[in-house]
């Protein structure tokens, strides 16, 4: 065997080895939740900021009395400007500084389920999302990332809903979710679902703000903050639809956004959650903010002419001690912007 022949032999061998190795690597191209079958335990960024702990740290409100739980459970604002409503509601809860500390990484999850223009009331009002981004940045947030996992193509849903332009205009970042952003995470208190591929960003962040919009849903009756959390679920979400109330409660036991802002500027009172006709939308001109998903949803139900107990997942969550749905036991502050 001469030198040339030897080189050729080595070349062919290494080529074969490379191809063989790539054949194995190629399976990595099928990147999906199948890779994340190992269940990871993650703790959610912290418990919802209680009024007591907030009082010890100076809030953006500034000169409020240090001892008393000064903040209401729910702040309800009305007015013809979605952004002003939202800003006032957050201020009534103690200002964004109560939730977002300087340097905090904030994630905001509006409802961007499909590609629909804002006027149809199917997605969260872009002005409301923009003002929340602005307030977070004003409070000193290091980054504000906005995302959802739409059922439509992401680019279209983000663009048509107007949220992409609004968020970028306000200085926030729209994140497009990929399979790599999900991990199968244990839901320790789950009764029906004990683990699910969930978005890791909400666990990495310091603060999560859930920004649902108020609309009906054929199965969940209403899509409010608890149902809208499905937007951080990966995997086959359509499997959530059997025994849905308990599964939603399970999800809500793990993920407890520090701030919940329900955009009820428009109310999609029929044909939700994807609507599409102006005859199904009526003006709501309201914004509801709170720290408990259950309480916000309980109040949200009344905006659409229902009792909190009419919404199965809210009733079940209250029953299992996840939050208070009885509006008579909640301190609700109302103002008009």
Partner 1 sequence: MADVKVASHTRVRGVHRFRLAFQIAFLLLFFALLTLTVWPLGSVALGAFLGADPLIALNSAASGQWLWPGFIAIGMLIVPLFAGRAFCGYACPTGTIIERTTPSRGPGQLPQAWRARLRTLPVFVLIACAGLLLFGSSLYLFFDPLATLTRVATILLYPLLDRVLRLAGDVAYLAAPLRPGVDAVTAALTGRLIFTRPLVYGLQLGVLGMFTGMLAISWIEPRLWCRDLCPLGALLGLVGRFAIVGRLVDGETCISCGKCHSVCPMDAIPDDFRSTDRSRCQSCYVCADVCPVNAIGVGTRPHAWTYSPTRRGIVIAAGVAALAGFFSFTGLGRREKAPQLVRPPGARTEADVLALCSRCGQCMKVCPTNVIQPAVSAGFEGVFTPQMDYRVGYCEWSCNECGKVCPTGTIRPLSLEVKHRTVIGRAYIDRDRCIPWADYKTCLVCQELCPVPEKAIVINTADVVTPVGTTLRLGRPEVVAERCIGCGVCSNACPVAYRPAIEVFGVREKA
Residues lying near partner 1 in the complex (CB under 8 A) are found at 28-29, 31, 114-116, 151-156, 159-160, 173-176, 178, 180, 217-219, 236, 238-239, 241-244, 271-277, 279-280
Decide if 234 contacts 180 (C-beta within 8 A). Answer: no
Residues 162 and 143: their CA atoms lie apart, in Å, by: 20
Q: Shortest distance, CB of residue 248 to partner 1, whole angstroms?
A: 13
The helix/strand/coil state of 101 is coil
Q: Which is nearer to partner 1, 98 or 116 (CB)?
A: 116
Q: Shortest distance, CB of residue 152 to partner 1, whole angstroms?
A: 6
Decide if 77 contacts 336 (C-beta within 8 A). Answer: yes
| Nearest residue to 186 via CA among 178, 194, 198 | 194
Q: Shortest distance, CB of residue 241 to partner 1, whole angstroms?
A: 5
Q: Shortest distance, CB of residue 304 to partner 1, whole angstroms?
A: 16
Q: Which is nearer to partner 1, 221 or 289 (CB)?
A: 221
Q: Which is nearer to partner 1, 125 or 216 (CB)?
A: 216
Q: Shortest distance, CB of residue 141 to partner 1, whole angstroms?
A: 15
Residue 247 CB contacts under 8 Å (≥ 6 apart), including other chains: 192, 193, 240
Beta pairing partners, 283 = 266
Q: Which is nearer to partner 1, 35 or 302 (CB)?
A: 35
Q: Shortest distance, CB of residue 101 to partner 1, whole angstroms?
A: 20
Report residue 321 as tokens. Answer: 């001690």
Report residue 210 as tokens. Answer: 């859930």
Q: Which residue has the tokens 């998903």?
A: 293
**How many C-beta neighbours within 10 Å does residue 80 have?**
11
The helix/strand/coil state of 108 is strand
Residues 106 and 207: their CA atoms lie apart, in Å, by: 5
C-alpha distances out from residue 248 to 22, 143, 185, 256, Å = 41, 29, 15, 12
DSSP state at residue 58: P
Q: Which is nearer to partner 1, 138 or 204 (CB)?
A: 204
Q: Which is nearer to partner 1, 141 or 337 (CB)?
A: 141
Q: Which is nearer to partner 1, 306 or 327 (CB)?
A: 306
Q: Shortest distance, CB of residue 163 to partner 1, whole angstroms?
A: 13
């Amino acid at each position: 065997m001469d030198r040339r022949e030897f080189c050729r032999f080595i070349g062919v061998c290494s080529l074969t080895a490379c191809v063989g190795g790539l054949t194995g690597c190629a399976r990595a191209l099928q990147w999906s939740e199948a890779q994340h079958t190992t269940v990871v335990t993650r703790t959610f960024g912290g418990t919802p900021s209680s009024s007591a702990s907030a009082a010890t740290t100076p809030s953006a409100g500034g000169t409020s009395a240090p001892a008393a739980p000064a903040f209401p459970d729910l702040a309800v604002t009305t007015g013809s400007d979605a952004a002003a409503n939202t800003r006032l509601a957050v201020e009534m809860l103690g200002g964004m500084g109560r939730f977002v500390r300087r340097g905090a990484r904030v994630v905001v999850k509006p409802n961007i389920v499909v590609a629909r223009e804002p006027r149809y009331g199917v997605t969260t009002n872009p002005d409301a999302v923009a003002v929340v981004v602005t307030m977070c940045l004003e409070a000193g947030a290091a980054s504000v990332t906005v995302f959802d996992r739409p059922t439509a193509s992401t680019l279209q849903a983000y663009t048509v809903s107007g949220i992409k332009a609004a968020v970028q205009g306000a200085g926030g970042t729209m994140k497009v979710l990929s399979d790599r952003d999900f991990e199968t995470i244990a839901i320790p208190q789950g009764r029906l679902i004990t683990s699910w591929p969930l978005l890791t960003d909400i666990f990495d962040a310091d603060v999560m703000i859930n920004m649902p919009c108020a609309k009906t849903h054929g199965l969940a009756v209403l899509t409010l903050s608890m149902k809208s959390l499905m937007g951080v679920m990966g995997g086959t979400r359509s499997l959530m639809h059997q025994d849905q109330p308990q599964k939603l409660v399970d999800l809500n036991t793990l993920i407890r956004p520090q701030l919940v802002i329900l955009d009820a500027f428009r109310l999609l009172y029929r044909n939700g959650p994807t609507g599409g006709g102006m005859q199904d939308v009526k003006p709501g001109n309201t914004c509801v903010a709170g720290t408990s998903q259950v309480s916000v949803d309980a109040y949200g139900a009344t905006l659409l002419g229902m009792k909190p107990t009419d919404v199965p997942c809210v009733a079940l969550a209250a029953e299992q001690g996840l939050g208070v749905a009885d509006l008579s036991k909640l301190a609700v502050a109302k103002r008009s912007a």
